[in-house]
């Protein structure tokens, strides 16, 4: 890419480099007509002052990198919305990068941000991430870093999460209070903290209300609409008795609902369903799906505030990082009323 330089402008106007430079910086030694001529030529030739070079010197690009697993789910796009709102109010721009749930892409994203002159990174880790090296490199460079939702607990950085244990507990408690006794829980096979916590909440709610834990009712797989459908097919073909399903997230719950409908199993009369995350579609479908809301906009706003505080402090890694934990809210809809 050939960019217009001060030298090009100087050549075009047949004046010196330093005259152009001083004219562009409104130096008092330069006459108004010369300033005008230089600025017009700069405009005409598409000259842009080299802000990267100057941000290299000052370290202030007023841009923050946000690294997320994916943006095609309501939860993440909504957290990003919250982050953007606060950051824009404070004069910062946001650049986004999707890891698509892959560890390698996440590393690439961090590298891309480091090379793009962002002032710091706000991130939620991919499902594959179980090592902290890539993010540790950010800290090593003394660049501010904050996590939301999915964090690396061994890194001492600010974070905003929700109480996933509590989410699993209240979803299960709600089903128990509706008289359900054989509650299926669909979770996943990876060792991901937020999902483990939802499972722990489910188990503790059963214990708390004196219900037995039945291994047949705890299913682990990869979460998706299709996996939700598959789980119901398997339960039915294995003739396992159940009267409710609590899924780790909403797409799986949607699959559960679709398959139950195909089997003409009545929702919620025969089987109640509760999902997790309050994806947009859960309120649109019939029956509408009960779910656990994570206050995603609030989470975005909060992590942005923590991050701005961090930026102001300057010595990013000399303080005990602030950790904020949101309380989840159960939204009861037609699928479990």
**Where along the sequence are the contacts to its own copies (CB under 8 A)?**
1-4, 45-46, 48, 50-53, 55-56, 59, 61, 63, 71-72, 74, 77-78, 80-81, 84, 88, 93-98, 100, 105, 108-109, 111-112, 114-119, 137, 140-143, 254, 258, 280-281, 284-286
Token match 């929700």: residue? 162
C-beta of 173 vs 250, nearer to its own copies: 250
Complex with its own copies: residue 136 or 332, whichever CB lies closer: 136
By beta-carbon proximity to its own copies, the closer residue of 96 and 218 is: 96
Taking the least distance from each CB to its own copies, the nearer of 117 and 132 is 117
Cis amide leading into 327 (omega within 30): no
Q: Cβ closer to its own copies: 104 or 216?
A: 104
Residue 102 CB, nearest approach to its own copies (Å): 10
Q: How far is the CB of 95 from its own copies (least distance, A)?
A: 5
Residues 106/76, Cβ–Cβ less than 8 Å: no
Q: H or E element: which one contains 323?
A: strand 323-326
Q: Rounded to whole angstroms, how far apart are CA atoms 192 and 174?
A: 24
Beta carbon of residue 178, minimum distance to its own copies (angstroms, whole number): 23
The least CB distance from residue 142 to its own copies, in Å, is 6
Which residue, 81 or 178, is less far from its own copies as judged by CB? 81
With 0-12 CB in 10 A as exposed, 13-18 as middle and 19+ as buried, what is 74?
middle
The CA distance from 280 to 291, in Å, is: 11
Q: How far apart are CA 315 and CA 333, in angstroms?
A: 47
Which tokens is 206 given?
């059963």
CA of 140: how far to CAs of 132, 210, 240, in Å? Answer: 12, 49, 52
Closest approach of Cβ 296 to its own copies, in Å? 11
Between 98 and 336, CB nearer to its own copies: 98
Query: What minimum distance in Å lies between the beta carbon of 327 and its own copies?
Result: 24
- What pairs with residue 194 in β-bridges? none
CB of 61 to its own copies, least distance (A): 6
Contacts of 328 (CB under 8 A, 6+ apart): 162, 163, 164, 166, 167, 170, 292, 293, 294, 295
């Amino acid at each position: 890419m050939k960019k217009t330089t001060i030298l090009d402008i100087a050549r075009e106007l047949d004046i010196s480099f330093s005259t152009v430079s001083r004219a562009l910086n409104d130096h008092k030694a330069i006459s108004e007509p010369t300033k005008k001529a230089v600025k017009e030529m700069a405009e005409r030739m598409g000259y842009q002052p080299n802000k990267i070079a100057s941000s290299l010197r000052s370290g202030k690009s007023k841009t923050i990198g946000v690294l997320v697993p994916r943006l095609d789910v309501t939860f993440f796009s909504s957290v990003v919305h919250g982050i953007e709102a606060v950051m824009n109010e404070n004069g910062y721009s946001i650049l986004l990068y999707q890891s698509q749930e892959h560890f390698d892409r996440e590393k690439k994203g961090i590298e891309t941000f480091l090379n793009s002159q962002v002032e710091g990174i706000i991130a939620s880790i991919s499902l594959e991430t179980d090592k902290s090296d890539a993010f540790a490199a950010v800290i090593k460079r003394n660049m501010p870093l904050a996590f939301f939702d999915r964090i690396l607990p061994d890194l001492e950085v600010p974070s905003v999460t929700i109480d996933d244990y509590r989410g699993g507990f209240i979803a299960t408690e709600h089903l128990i209070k509706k008289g359900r006794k054989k509650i299926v829980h669909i979770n996943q096979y990876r060792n991901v903290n937020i999902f483990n916590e939802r499972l722990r909440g489910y188990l503790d709610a059963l214990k708390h209300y004196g219900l037995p834990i039945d291994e047949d009712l705890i299913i682990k797989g990869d979460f998706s609409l299709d996996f939700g459908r598959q789980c119901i097919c398997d339960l039915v073909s294995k003739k396992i008795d159940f009267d409710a399903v609590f899924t780790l997230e909403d797409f799986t719950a949607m699959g559960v609902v679709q398959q139950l409908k195909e089997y003409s199993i009545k929702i919620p009369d025969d089987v109640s369903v509760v999902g997790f995350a309050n994806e947009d579609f859960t309120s649109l479908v019939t029956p509408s799906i009960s779910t656990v809301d994570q206050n995603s906009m609030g989470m975005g706003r909060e992590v942005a505030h923590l991050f701005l505080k961090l930026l102001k402090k300057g010595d990013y890694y000399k303080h005990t990082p602030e950790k904020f934990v949101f309380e989840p809210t159960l939204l009861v809809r037609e699928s479990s009323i």
